[in-house]
């Protein structure tokens, strides 16, 4: 596998944020201007609170960079694709709030998405938590944490916004274990403590479970997905344009367990949240079997 070369990144902070801004929302974008505009418009329209928006512009040959500059938004920029890890770490360095929220540019945040997250943050007595919103997706992808298939369109042109909002207004969805995917929220002190996303996982395959594993080792035990914080995910992926890293193997080599075991058996990915269940690593026969499987994957 060819090594991913770190691109040169420039940093472009904008004006100071307004008082009582809650989250620093980091959005990597790769020549996806129409979707990015749609995403940011939804943030501005459907958020309860004010947020700092930071964009990483990969290439920007479609006019993204010029448009961002007209919006007075903080942004970082690379003439080549920086991948997820370098981009998120660069954007996080411009964060002016205590909370970093990772959002994909092909997501439409639903009304009150941030109020649910902020309400959960206010209940915490420490910074040792990691929260995710819940994705609604048009196609089933195997992600047990997403609500799918609920097809309200796959682009801004055929997006059925009114139907989606009616659907979400009636939806009663449970919280779940295993927060790991965007939209994901972490306290900046914890993000900094684990040195952000691991850049050796660039361009980004398996960087999500790796980041969660780093949080686990830093003492985080509250990995909670919030059923009431909803985003519609268009599933407009750009990963097909890059040479993927072998993240499954890298994870096994680094952590000596498979990522699937960590998700399923440690942070209980997708299970209904129960505050009486305490997450822990059970060193039983399944654990030692997983260690053996990781050795095989890592070869």
Query: Could you tell me which of 249, 262, 66, 58 has the C-alpha nearest to residue 178?
Result: 262
Residue 120: its pLDDT value, please? 98
Query: Could you tell me which of 230, 219, 218, 66 has the C-alpha nearest to residue 145?
Result: 230
Residue 191 confidence (pLDDT) above 60: yes
Residue 2: its pLDDT value, please? 63
β-strands 222-233, 52-58 pairing:
unpaired
Residue 239: its pLDDT value, please? 59
Domain residue extents for the chain? 10-251
Percent of the chain having pLDDT more than 70? 98
The pTM assigned to this predicted structure is: 0.96
1 pLDDT band (50/70/90 cuts)?
low
Degrees (nearest 5) of the Cα angle 232, 235, 241?
150
Q: How far apart are CA 146 and CA 135, in angstroms?
A: 5
Residue-wise pLDDT for 2-42, tens only, equals 678 889 999 999 978 878 999 999 999 999 999 999 999 99
Give the phi and the psi of residue 69 in degrees, each rounded to 5.
Answer: -65, -30
Q: What is the DSSP letter of 273?
A: P
Domain covering 10-251, topology: Spore Coat Polysaccharide Biosynthesis Protein SpsA; Chain A (3.90.550)
**How distant is the alpha carbon of residue 8 from its chain centre?**
23
Strand partners, 52: 24
Token duo for residue 230 = 């909803």
């Amino acid at each position: 596998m060819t090594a991913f070369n770190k691109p040169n990144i420039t940093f472009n902070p904008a004006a100071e944020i307004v008082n009582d801004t809650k989250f620093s929302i980091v959005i990597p974008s790769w020549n996806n201007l129409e979707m990015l505009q749609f995403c940011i418009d939804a943030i501005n329209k459907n958020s309860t609170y004010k947020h700092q928006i930071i964009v990483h512009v990969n290439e920007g040959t479609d006019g993204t960079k010029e448009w961002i500059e007209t919006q007075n938004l903080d942004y970082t920029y690379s003439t080549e694709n920086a991948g997820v890890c370098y981009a998120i770490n660069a954007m996080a360095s411009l964060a002016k709030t205590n909370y970093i929220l990772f959002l994909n540019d092909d997501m439409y945040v639903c009304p009150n998405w941030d109020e649910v997250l902020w309400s959960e943050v206010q209940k915490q007595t420490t910074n040792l938590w990691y929260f995710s919103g819940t994705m609604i997706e048009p196609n089933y992808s195997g992600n047990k944490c997403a609500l799918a298939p609920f097809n309200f369109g796959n682009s801004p042109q055929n997006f059925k916004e009114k139907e989606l909002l009616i659907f979400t207004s009636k939806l009663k969805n449970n919280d779940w274990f295993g927060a790991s995917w965007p939209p994901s929220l972490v306290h900046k002190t914890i993000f900094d403590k684990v040195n952000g996303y691991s850049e050796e996982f660039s361009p980004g395959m398996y960087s999500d479970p790796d980041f969660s594993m780093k949080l686990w080792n830093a003492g985080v035990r509250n990995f909670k997905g919030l059923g009431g914080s909803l985003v519609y995910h268009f599933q407009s992926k750009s990963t097909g344009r890059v040479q993927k890293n072998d993240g499954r193997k890298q994870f096994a080599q680094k952590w000596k367990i498979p990522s699937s075991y960590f998700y399923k058996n440690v942070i209980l990915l997708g299970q209904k949240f129960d505050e009486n269940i305490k997450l822990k690593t059970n060193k039983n026969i399944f654990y030692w079997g997983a260690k053996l499987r990781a050795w095989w994957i890592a070869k």
